[in-house]
Chains A and B, each alone.
Chain A
Amino acid sequence: MDGLSFDSGLMVWTWITFAILFALLARFTFKPLQRLLDQRERAIRDSLEQARLARMEAEAMQKEHAEKLAQASNETKQIIAEGHRIVAQMKNEARDAAKREAANAMTQARADIDREVQRSMDDLKNTVATLSFRIARQVIKTKLDETEHEKLANDFVDRLKKTNVARKTA
């Protein structure tokens, strides 16, 4: 059991050896290592801080985007509603315009028809008058003046109209 016998020289060599080892390690190994570890610790802390800031920024941006999205969604809904409203209004206006146009066309057509009827009646009246006059001259072989003849024709036409109206109402 050599280990149990005390050797004071070995003890002193232990001190010397450890002192040299400590001096060498502290100077050439641990000092640069500690600097490196501090640098790494700082870098990690900075990275974590940057990551935290980036996360906060991202969260703020996300919130902002969500708000913008919600706003855009509302605006879209409003635009769509406005579009629907405008389309409905345009439909109504178009329908009204079409109705108005149709009414105008109808009125115009009626007026045209009335005018054409009136003109036809006038033509008929003239034709009937002329024919009556000719027939009457042929029948009575008498000469009538123009005024009397026209009065006679008008009376005839009026009677004819009344007869037509009475027939239609019947």
Chain B
Amino acid sequence: MLALSSVSAAYGSFQALFSVSLEIKRGEAVGVIGPNGAGKTTLMRVISGLIAAHEGTMTLEGRAITGLPAHQVVEQGIAHVPENRRLFPALSVEENLRIGAFIPSARARFSERLDWVYQLFPRLKERRAQLAGTMSGGEQQMCAIARALMSKPKVLLMDEPSAGLAPLVVAQVFELVRKIRAEGLTVLIVEQNVQQVLEVVDRAYLLEVGAIRLAGSAAELKQNSVIREAYMGL
């Protein structure tokens, strides 16, 4: 479905990714775990076109998406839930969702998508007229995910969906991820909360200092001693 082969990227003169390759199959949920500053967010931003890769290729369903600007990547079918949610705080919940459906293909079926998203997250329907910036962190994360879903993506990228949320809310967010998976979406999720993320993904990659160090199924990685010691504190 989504494949990266030997992708490298840099912020100015600081190289953040070194020849990263990974692959996600249709319907799969894949996690990328690793410490702060490992390049996880960079990886997401490279895929969605916010940062240009200076080496390597990326394909979605076999078609190259390397070098496309962000707004065209969305049209190809990749939606990105950014780190820290990044809702438009002074727009209402429904306006945020409308922005999520900005691309022509989604715009044409806006009300249908809206119904679907509201059915998935009934809470948002209650809050539809509220300004997004005034909601709780968990609700904002819900709204950010819903906004990404509005474009009817084939692949959903989620960057640290649990960051900055209270433990109880974190559990709810991972519940949301399960719900989305159940809808048949392909998901790539970046997390520092290793224990929880390994419960919801099929496979995961360990990213350290901009390179992939380990890869395996969630079950394998849960047993891996490196991961248990360094990332799960066991």
The answer to whether A and B belong to the same complex is no
Listed in ascending order, the chain B residues whose CB lies under 8 Å from chain A are: none
Listed in ascending order, the chain A residues whose CB lies under 8 Å from chain B are: none
